[in-house]
C-alpha cells in the first residue's frame, strides 16, 4: 500500500501540541508533549501523562529534532554504486527497491535455501508494533535464519526468569520507602534518569546508598559506600554477602523455607567466598565489603537496583543470579521499598509471540553476538542476504573488525533500513529510509517505569521514509504472505491492541494509560509473586549453563601481561546505544586511572592507542580517578567519526559469550594502552 493511502497522521498546519511517548531503548518510557508548527517539530518536552516522567526528559530526546531533520537523514531508497563502504549511492524508487529485494531474496532461496537470509535487528527505538511483528511474520514465512536476540539483557533476563519467573520489581517511586538502596552495575544518571531523584529523596530521608561499579559514577559519588569492583567479579562479591548472611544468622531461614528451593545448594556455592577472599578477587577493601554485608544484613527495607553492567561478561549470568538472590536470602521482600528492580517488561503479561501469530520455523539460530563469525565463517549455508533494521551492528556488535570484514564480502547482499546514514548503512548494497518514533504508530512498554502508552506520529514521514510495519507488510504482499489492506499502520495498531490481555488494548485505544494488572507500585511477595511454574523462588536453577556446570561457577578472566587492562564500555549520556552517535563528532577520551597513565607516561589529553589482538582504537586520554586502577573505559555506541582511526570500543570486544544465555561480553575485554605520536 502506498504511504499516501494510509490514514493521515494528526498533522496540523497551525501550531499544535501532540501527546506521544518515547520508544528509545531506555527504562523510563517517558510521556512526551511535542509542539509542531506547520508540520515541523519545534519542541519536545516531557509531560505529566505518565506520572513517572514528572514533566522532564533527557537532553537526547529534547533535541531529537536534530536527528529527524538531520542532513544525514536517509530520505529515499538508494542503491550502492562504486566499492562497498565508500558511501556512494544512487537514488532509486521504492518500487525498484522492493523489486530488488524480491530478486535478491529469491536468488538466495533458490541457490542456498532461505536460511542464507539473516535478519539482524534489536530494540532500536521500537515498541510492540515495530519490532518482531510484521517483520517476524515475514522472515518466518520466508524460512530465514532466526536471530537469537542476545546483545542485551540475555543473561539478566534468563537469571530473573529462572529464579523468579520474571516477577515485576520495585517501582522507582517506592525507593522513597527504602532505608538501604543498592545500585549494582547501573549508571542511572545516564541510562534511566528518573530513578535518580527518587534515590536522592530517599537519601535525604536518611536512607543509605551503596553503589557497586568499577567507575565512580555520579551515584557512586553520592553514595555512603562505593565498591569499585574489578569488572566481572560481582559473582564472588554477591556470594560473599550471601555467605556472610548465612554465617551470621542473618539469613531469613523462615522465608527461605516457605518460598525458596535450592537454599542448601546456594549456601554451599557461597561458602567458599569469605569476605576476605571475595575482596581479594574483586580488588575491594575487605572492610568496605564487610560494611556492605553488615548493612545488607541489618537494614530494611532494602532494595537492589540490578542493572546491566555486570551481565556483559563471561560471569554475567552467575553474577546476576547471585545479586538477585540477595533479597531472598536477606528476607527483604514483603514490604514497600524492599526487594529488587530488574526489567519490569513482563509486568504486563504481554507475550509478543501472541501478537505475531505465525508459527516459528525450526530454522538455523544465529546468536547476534557472533555476527562477525556468521558473516565470515558460516558456510552451510553461508549468509548471502543480510537484512538490518532497528540496529547498527557495525557500531554495537562485538568484534567490529570481523563484522566489517563480513560486510565487505563481495557475495553478500546487505539491506539496511535506517533513519540516518549509520556506520552500518555505509556498507549496504541497498539503503531504505525508515521513520522515527515521531513519524509512526507504536505501543511503548516501559521496562523500568510501569507505563504502556500509544505512540502516534506527530509529523508526516520525512522524505520517503516508511515504518517497519509498512515495509514488511509491503514485502509480505509481494511474496504472497499477506493480503494488501487499506488499514495501514493505524489498522495494525488496532489489530495488535485487540490481542493485548486484560482489556489493555481497549484502554489504550480509548486514550488511557492503563496500569499493569498488579498495579504500578507492586510490593514483591504481597502484590506480585514469582512466575515460576510452582510459584517458588529457584535459588539454584538447573540447566542454565551451556556446559551443565553450577550456575554459580566463577570463571576468572586470566588476562595477560600483554593486555593487562580491563576495558569496559558502558552507556553514555549523549547517545542511546549508537542512536544519536552522529551528533558526537568530537574525538572520544579513554578514561584511565592516574596510576595506569603514569606507568605509561600518558598525560591528560594525550593521543593514545588502545589495542589488543582484535583491533585498536586511536583516541585521547582522560586521566581520572573516576575509573579504578587496572580498568579503562570508553563509551558504548560511538560512531567511527569519534576516533582517529574509525574503530571504537567494539573493535576490542571479543565474540566470546557469557556463562548463561549467550550474552555479549562487552565489559570483559583486555587491552593495552600506549602513548601515540601527535596526529
Site string for ligand MGD, 372-401 (x = CB under 6 A): -----------------xxxxx-xx-----
Tally Cβ neighbours within 10 Å of residue 531: 15
* CA–CA distances in Å: residue 112 to residues 75, 425, 475: 33, 25, 20
Among 20, 29, 424, 468, binds ligand SF4 (CB under 6 A): 29
H helix runs in 215-274, sequence order: 218-222, 234-247, 253-259, 263-271
Tally Cβ neighbours within 10 Å of residue 577: 23
How many residues touch ligand MGD (CB under 6 A)? 64
* Order of strands across the sheet that contains 31-37: 15-21, 31-37, 40-46
Q: Least distance in Å: CB of 26 to Mo ion?
A: 9
Q: What share of the chain is helix, strand, coil (3-state, %, to 5)?
A: 35, 20, 50
Q: Least distance in Å: CB of 258 to ligand MGD?
A: 30
- For ligand MGD, which stretch binds (CB under 6 A), given 124-132, 451-459, 592-600, 607-615? 124-132
| Stretch (H or E) spanning 180 | strand 180-184
CA 288 to CA 271: how far, in whole Å? 19
CA 654 to chain centre: 18
Among 434, 497, 608, 671, binds ligand MGD (CB under 6 A): 434
Q: Which is nearer to ligand MGD, 53 or 125 (CB)?
A: 125
**Helix and strand totals (H; E) in the chain:** 22, 26
Q: Are 454 and 21 in contact (CB under 8 A)?
A: yes
Q: Least distance in Å: CB of 232 to ligand SF4?
A: 27
The site partner of 22 among ligand SF4, Mo ion, ligand MGD, none (C-beta below 5 to 8 Å per kind) is ligand SF4
Beta bridge partners of 388: 120, 416
The site partner of 126 among ligand SF4, Mo ion, ligand MGD, none (C-beta below 5 to 8 Å per kind) is ligand MGD
* 458 lines the binding site for ligand SF4 (CB under 6 A): no
Q: Which is nearer to ligand MGD, 105 or 193 (CB)?
A: 193
| Stretch (H or E) spanning 208 | strand 208-212
Q: Are 61 and 581 in contact (CB under 8 A)?
A: no
Q: Which is nearer to ligand SF4, 26 or 180 (CB)?
A: 26
Q: Which of 107, 651, 115 is nearest to 378 (CA)?
A: 115
Stretch 488-547 residues interacting with Mo ion (CB under 5 A): none
* 573 lines the binding site for ligand MGD (CB under 6 A): yes
In sequence order, what are the residues at sequence separation of 6 or more whose Cβ sits closer than 8 angstroms to the Cβ of residue 229? 212, 213, 214, 237, 282, 283, 284, 628
Q: Least distance in Å: CB of 220 to ligand SF4?
A: 20
Q: Least distance in Å: CB of 83 to Mo ion?
A: 33
Backbone angles phi, psi at 207, to 5 degrees: -70, 150
Site string for ligand MGD, 448-487 (x = CB under 6 A): --------------------x-------------------
CA 463 to chain centre: 29
Q: Tell me which residue has cell 605509561.
A: 600
Site string for ligand SF4, 477-516 (x = CB under 6 A): ----------------------------------------
* 338 lines the binding site for ligand MGD (CB under 6 A): no
Q: Least distance in Å: CB of 308 to ligand SF4?
A: 15
Q: Least distance in Å: CB of 19 to ligand MGD?
A: 20
Q: Are 606 and 574 in contact (CB under 8 A)?
A: no
Among 6, 18, 30, 623, binds ligand SF4 (CB under 6 A): 30
C-alpha cell at 565: 587492562
DSSP state, residue 326: H
Among 348, 525, 540, 666, binds ligand MGD (CB under 6 A): 666
Stretch 50-79 residues interacting with ligand SF4 (CB under 6 A): 57-58, 60-61
| Burial of 551: CB neighbours in 10 Å, binned 0-12, 13-18, 19+ | buried
Pairing outcome for strands 430-433 and 413-418: parallel
The site partner of 418 among ligand SF4, ligand MGD, Mo ion, none (C-beta below 5 to 8 Å per kind) is ligand MGD
* 152 lines the binding site for ligand SF4 (CB under 6 A): no
* 455 lines the binding site for ligand SF4 (CB under 6 A): no
Q: Which is nearer to ligand MGD, 47 or 395 (CB)?
A: 395
CA 36 to CA 17: how far, in whole Å? 6
CA 284 to CA 204: how far, in whole Å? 27
Stretch 567-586 residues interacting with ligand SF4 (CB under 6 A): 576
Q: Which is nearer to ligand MGD, 173 or 423 (CB)?
A: 423
Pairing outcome for strands 89-91 and 365-367: unpaired
Q: Least distance in Å: CB of 361 to ligand MGD?
A: 23
* Order of strands across the sheet that contains 208-212: 225-227, 208-212, 180-184, 302-306, 339-341
* 637 lines the binding site for ligand MGD (CB under 6 A): yes
Stretch 181-220 residues interacting with ligand SF4 (CB under 6 A): 193
- For ligand MGD, which stretch binds (CB under 6 A), given 141-149, 231-239, 354-362, 450-458? 231-239
* CA–CA distances in Å: residue 437 to residues 194, 415, 434, 512, 628: 21, 21, 10, 19, 38
Classify the C-alpha dihedral 285-291-296-302 as positive or negative. negative
Q: Which is nearer to ligand SF4, 557 or 575 (CB)?
A: 575
Q: Which is nearer to ligand MGD, 188 or 597 (CB)?
A: 188
- What is the DSSP annotation of 415-450? EEEESB--TTGGG-SEEEEB--TTSS-EEEE-SSS-
The site partner of 193 among Mo ion, ligand MGD, ligand SF4, none (C-beta below 5 to 8 Å per kind) is ligand SF4
- For ligand SF4, which stretch binds (CB under 6 A), given 19-27, 72-80, 310-318, 522-530? 19-27
Q: Which of 417, 388, 418, 390 is nearest to 403 (CA)?
A: 388
C-beta nearest to Mo ion: residue: 152
Q: Least distance in Å: CB of 151 to Mo ion?
A: 7
Stretch 129-188 residues interacting with Mo ion (CB under 5 A): 152
* CA–CA distances in Å: residue 369 to residues 121, 198, 547: 12, 35, 19
In sequence order, what are the residues at sequence separation of 6 or more whose Cβ sits closer than 8 angstroms to the Cβ of residue 599? none
How many residues touch ligand SF4 (CB under 6 A)? 12
Stretch 142-181 residues interacting with ligand MGD (CB under 6 A): 151-152
C-alpha cell at 451: 507505563
The site partner of 434 among ligand MGD, ligand SF4, Mo ion, none (C-beta below 5 to 8 Å per kind) is ligand MGD
The site partner of 159 among ligand MGD, ligand SF4, Mo ion, none (C-beta below 5 to 8 Å per kind) is none
> Residues interacting with ligand SF4, by CB under 6 A?
22, 24, 26, 28-30, 57-58, 60-61, 193, 576
> Residues interacting with ligand MGD, by CB under 6 A?
25-26, 122-126, 130, 151-152, 184-187, 190-192, 212-215, 217, 229, 231-232, 234, 307-310, 312-313, 389-393, 395-396, 417-420, 422, 434, 468, 568-573, 575-579, 636-637, 649-650, 653, 666-667
Amino acid at each position: 500500500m502506498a504511504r499516501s493511502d494510509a490514514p493521515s497522521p494528526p498533522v496540523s498546519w497551525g501550531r499544535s501540541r501532540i501527546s506521544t511517548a518515547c520508544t528509545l531503548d531506555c527504562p523510563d518510557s517517558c510521556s512526551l508533549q511535542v509542539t509542531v508548527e506547520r508540520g515541523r517539530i519545534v519542541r519536545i518536552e516531557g509531560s505529566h501523562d505518565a506520572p513517572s516522567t514528572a514533566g522532564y526528559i533527557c537532553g537526547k530526546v529534547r533535541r531529537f529534532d536534530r536527528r529527524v531533520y538531520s542532513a544525514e537523514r536517509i530520505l529515499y531508497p538508494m542503491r550502492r554504486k562504486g566499492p562497498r563502504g565508500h558511501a556512494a549511492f544512487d537514488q532509486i524508487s521504492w518500487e525498484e527497491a522492493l523489486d530488488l529485494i524480491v530478486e535478491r531474496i529469491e536468488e538466495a532461496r533458490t541457490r542456498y535455501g532461505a536460511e542464507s537470509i539473516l535478519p539482524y535487528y534489536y530494540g532500536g527505538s521500537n515498541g510492540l508494533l515495530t519490532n518482531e511483528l510484521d517483520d517476524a511474520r515475514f522472515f518466518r514465512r520466508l524460512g530465514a535464519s532466526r536471530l537469537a536476540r542476545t546483545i542485551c539483557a540475555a543473561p539478566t533476563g534468563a537469571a530473573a526468569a529462572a529464579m523468579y519467573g520474571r516477577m515485576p520489581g520495585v517501582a522507582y517511586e517506592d525507593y522513597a520507602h527504602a532505608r538501604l538502596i543498592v545500585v549494582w552495575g547501573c549508571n542511572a544518571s545516564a541510562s534511566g534518569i528518573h530513578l535518580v531523584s527518587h534515590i536522592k529523596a530517599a537519601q535525604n530521608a536518611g536512607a543509605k546508598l551503596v553503589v557497586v561499579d568499577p567507575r565512580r559514577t555520579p551515584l557512586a559519588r553520592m553514595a555512603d559506600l562505593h565498591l569499585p569492583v574489578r569488572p566481572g567479579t560481582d559473582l564472588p562479591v554477591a556470594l560473599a554477602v550471601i555467605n556472610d548472611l548465612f554465617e551470621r544468622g542473618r539469613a531469613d531461614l523462615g522465608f527461605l523455607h516457605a518460598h525458596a528451593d535450592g537454599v542448601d545448594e546456594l549456601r554451599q556455592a557461597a561458602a567458599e567466598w569469605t569476605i576476605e577472599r571475595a575482596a581479594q578477587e574483586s580488588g575491594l577493601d575487605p572492610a568496605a565489603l564487610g560494611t556492605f554485608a553488615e548493612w545488607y544484613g541489618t537494614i530494611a527495607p532494602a532494595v537492589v537496583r540490578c542493572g546491566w553492567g555486570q551481565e556483559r561478561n563471561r560471569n554475567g549470568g552467575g553474577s546476576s543470579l547471585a545479586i538477585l538472590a540477595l533479597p531472598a536470602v536477606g528476607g527483604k521482600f514483603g514490604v514497600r521499598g524492599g526487594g529488587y528492580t530488574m526489567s519490569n517488561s513482563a509486568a504486563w503479561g504481554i507475550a509478543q509471540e501472541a501478537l505475531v501469530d505465525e508459527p516459528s520455523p525450526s530454522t538455523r539460530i544465529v546468536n547476534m553476538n557472533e555476527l562477525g563469525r556468521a558473516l565470515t565463517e558460516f558456510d552451510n549455508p553461508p549468509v548471502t542476504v543480510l537484512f538490518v533494521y532497528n540496529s547498527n551492528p557495525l557500531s554495537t556488535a562485538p568484534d567490529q573488525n570481523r563484522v566489517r570484514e563480513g560486510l565487505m564480502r563481495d557475495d553478500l547482499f546487505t539491506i539496511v533500513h535506517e533513519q540516518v546514514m549509520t556506520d552500518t548503512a555505509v556498507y549496504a548494497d541497498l539503503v531504505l529510509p525508515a521513520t522515527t518514533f515521531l513519524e509512526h504508530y507504536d505501543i511503548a512498554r516501559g521496562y523500568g517505569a510501569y507505563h504502556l502508552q500509544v505512540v502516534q506520529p506527530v509529523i508526516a514521514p520525512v522524505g520517503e521514509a516508511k515504518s517497519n510495519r509498512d515495509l514488511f507488510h509491503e514485502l509480505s504482499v509481494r511474496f504472497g504472505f499477506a493480503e494488501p489492506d487499506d488499514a495501514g499502520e493505524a489498522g495494525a495498531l488496532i489489530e495488535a491492541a485487540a490481542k493485548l490481555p486484560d482489556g489493555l488494548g481497549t484502554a489504550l485505544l480509548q486514550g488511557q494509560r492503563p496500569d499493569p494488572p498488579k498495579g504500578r507500585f507492586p510490593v514483591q511477595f504481597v502484590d506480585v509473586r514469582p512466575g515460576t511454574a510452582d510459584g517458588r523462588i529457584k535459588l539454584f536453577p538447573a540447566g542454565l549453563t551451556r556446559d551443565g556446570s553450577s550456575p554459580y561457577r566463577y570463571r576468572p578472566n586470566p588476562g595477560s601481561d600483554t593486555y593487562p587492562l580491563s576495558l569496559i564500555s558502558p552507556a553514555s549520556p549523549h547517545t542511546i546505544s549508537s542512536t544519536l552517535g552522529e551528533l558526537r563528532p568530537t574525538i572520544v577520551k579513554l578514561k584511565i586511572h592516574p596510576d595506569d597513565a603514569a606507568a605509561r607516561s600518558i598525560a591528560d589529553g594525550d593521543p593514545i592507542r588502545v589495542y589488543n589482538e582484535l583491533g585498536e582504537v586511536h583516541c585521547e586520554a582522560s586521566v581520572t580517578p573516576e575509573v579504578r586502577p587496572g580498568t579503562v573505559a570508553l563509551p558504548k555506541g560511538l560512531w567511527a567519526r569519534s576516533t582517529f582511526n574509525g574503530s571504537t570500543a567494539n573493535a576490542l570486544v571479543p565474540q566470546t559469550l557469557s556463562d548463561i544465555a549467550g550474552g555479549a561480553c562487552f565489559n570483559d575485554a583486555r587491552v593495552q594502552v600506549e602513548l601515540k605520536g601527535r596526529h
